[in-house]
Amino acid sequence: MNRTLYTQTGLFAVEVALFRLVESLGVRAEFVAGHSVGEVAAAYVAGVFSLEDACALVAARGRLMQALPAGGAMLAVEATEDEVRPLLGDFVALAAVNGPSSVVVSGAEEAVRQIRVHFEALGRRTTPLRVSHAFHSPLMEPLLDDFRKVVEGLVSRTAEIPVVSNRTGEIATKEELTSPEYWVRHVRDTVRFWDGIGALRRAGATAFLEVGPDGVLAALTQQSMGEDEQDCVVTPLLRKDRPEETALVTGLARMHCAGVDVHWARLFEGTGAQRVDLPTYPFQREPYWPTPAARTGDVSGVGLTATQHPLLGAAVSVADSGQVLLSGRLSPKAQPWLADHTVDGTPVFPPTAFLELLIRAGDQVGCDRVEELALTGQPLLLSATGATAIQVTIGAPDDSGTREIGCYARRDGASDEPWTCHATGRITAAESVADFDASVWPPQDTVPVDLDGFYEDGEGDGDSDFGPAFRTVRAVWRRGDEVFVEAALPGTGDDAALYGLHPALLDAAVQTAGFAGVDDSEPLAALTWNGVSLHATGASVVRMRVAKVGEHSVSVAAADAQGVPVLSVESATLGARPMQLAPAAAVDGTT
């Protein structure tokens, strides 16, 4: 089967048989394309040749190639066509252009070897092909006259299905497909497979099914797609590493899911299979799949730096100023946990989330300590259906390395509206010390606190404005003016890895401050933060010590479930959070 005489005839037989099989199952091709001898099979099923004439063409092609003297070489190279062409000469040719940086050269062994040495010196991948002859090269010239005599005796017709030409990389014309010279030069000329895939995409093709013995063309097609890959489905009908029936049904299923008609009843004829209504039971409507967190994409193409943070998507350094700007987009749809923090029924950006923004801003400029964060008193309202644009401005460092920060927001897309400042602060680089030992848990001499009704009856800032994401408190112990809190994100806590310390976890310290002696007759919010250092990231379960340090302030220290320090706060000043908002803000989400 490795002798070209049998390889070519075998490929033709398998490809035609597979085409007829899927055709019998209702799959109708709107275009056909092939690679080298595969284009002959494509032309036959498109109606250009009768079966007899197509077989005569393939047999003569393989026989004449096999009769040539053995020798020559073919080499797959990781390079562009423009990079390869200057290296070609009288004894080597560009045999195929399979992708944007995937070509095949073919010809005399020494000439091909020199090309291999050239590109390997550049660190490019090269792969010699296991062939008996150098196809699509000058070494094919001796067979062309004899092959021309065979083709001139065949009858060709207008194609009933558009055929993509290997020679031009475009939809072939009637004159090309019915010309004997076209098929003669087809043996010698470059296979422009990549260009052909581009022609199919321009013609509107979105589903590509390879009918052949392996999956080589499907892989080349995917490589040729570039940015179009996500809009297309590409699948082979057979795979060398899978049983034929499994690969066949899998390929047809992928086509079906992409909107291609498949007559499944014909596939199951004679098997005793019966159609059943699905589901056989009512939907329970209980989700079991993790909800993906909003992630930022690649913004480098527009001159920005991706922050890899779910709230802040991009960063840019302001030229010649030392200033840095971070921007993001808030939406309860993209970040569902935001919808669980409400006031008067309106989603409100959690005050603890502003601290997360400042910590991330500090990471961007090498500052690991938040000296101060203060809310301006203007809550950041979020639209339940729309989105909110945010910006964090980082000023140039002063003589001590401290930078001023501002957090701003406005409705997404409302370029005519002014930005509203919701928080200000200062960040700096300073050595941080974590002195909270949570290895013994709960600590000695503590008394457990009864949390029955904590999130139902208003105790400890627990009111109906906290949705599931913010109901993180699992246990509380008390020792004088110290409170020890265990908090965990609900579910699997998948979001935790994306944040320094998830704002919903940090909010547990605010919610339980009343147990430390802070007046919590009204629901509390952290109005200022001082001396904040992040020691580790990604915790989904935390152990916290909340200690009263002033009439309205507490210190906070947090560690993960293994006792590793996560966060330390010298002081957080607490005050009543707003319980009623302007109706207009609740309706349109303005800030």
pLDDT grade for 274, boundaries at 50, 70 and 90: confident
Across the range 450-471, mean pLDDT stands at: 72
Q: Identify the burial level of 382 via C-beta atoms within 10 angstroms of its C-beta, where 0-12 means exposed, 13-18 middle and 19 or more buried.
A: buried
* pLDDT at residue 583, rounded to an integer: 42
pLDDT at 52 over 70: yes
CA distance 484 to 244: 62
In the chain, % of residues over pLDDT 70: 92
Alpha helices in 167-283 (DSSP H): 174-177, 180-188, 193-202, 216-225, 244-257, 264-267
Catalytically active residues are 36, 341, 507
Asked whether residue 278 is assigned to any structural domain, the reply reads no
Residue 491 has pLDDT above 80, yes or no: no
Both 558 and 513 in a single domain?
A: yes
Boundary-marking domain end, from 395, 428, 461? 428
CA atoms within 13 A on the CB side of 323: 13
| The pLDDT of residue 192 | 96
Taking only the tens place, the pLDDT of each residue in 313-338 is 899 999 888 899 999 999 888 888 99
Shared-domain flag, residues 56 and 124: no
Q: Does residue 284 sit within a domain?
A: no
More confident residue, 48 or 308: 48
pLDDT in tens, 248-260: 999 999 999 999 9
Residue 330 lies in a domain: yes
Residue 308: CATH number of its domain: 3.10.129.110
How far is the first Cα of the chain from the last one, in angstroms, to the nearest whole number? Answer: 73
Element holding 6 (H helix, E strand): helix 4-24
In the chain, the number of structural domains is: 4
CATH number for the domain including 101? Answer: 3.30.70.250
Q: Indicate whether 336 and 400 sit together in one domain.
A: yes
Contact between 94 and 88 under an 8 Å Cβ cutoff? The reply is yes
pLDDT at position 70, please? Answer: 84
Say what the pLDDT of residue 460 is: 40
Residue 293 lies in a domain: no
Per-residue pLDDT of 504-515, as tens digits, reads 999 999 999 999
pLDDT of residue 573: 95
Q: What number is the average pLDDT over the span 549-574?
A: 93
The confidence score (pLDDT) of residue 517 equals 92
Quote the domain boundaries for residue 99: 72-131
Catalogue the E-assigned strands of 302-379.
Answer: 305-306, 314-317, 324-330, 342-343, 346-347, 369-375
How buried is 441 (Cβ within 10 angstroms: 0-12 exposed, 13-18 middle, 19+ buried)? middle
Per-residue model confidence as pLDDT tens digits over 404-451: 999 999 999 888 899 999 999 999 998 777 788 888 899 999 999 999
Q: How confident is the model at residue 461 (pLDDT cuts 50, 70, 90)?
A: very low
Give the tokens for residue 199.
């022609």
Query: What is the value of pTM for the model shown?
Result: 0.52
- Range 471-497 average pLDDT: 89
Q: Are residues 202 and 111 in the same domain?
A: no
To the nearest whole number, what is the mean pLDDT of the chain? 89
3-state helix, strand, coil in the chain (%, to 5): 30, 25, 45
Do 114 and 233 have their domain in common? no
Query: Would you state the pLDDT for residue 463?
Result: 45
Q: Note the pLDDT of residue 465.
A: 74
Same domain, 353 and 487: no
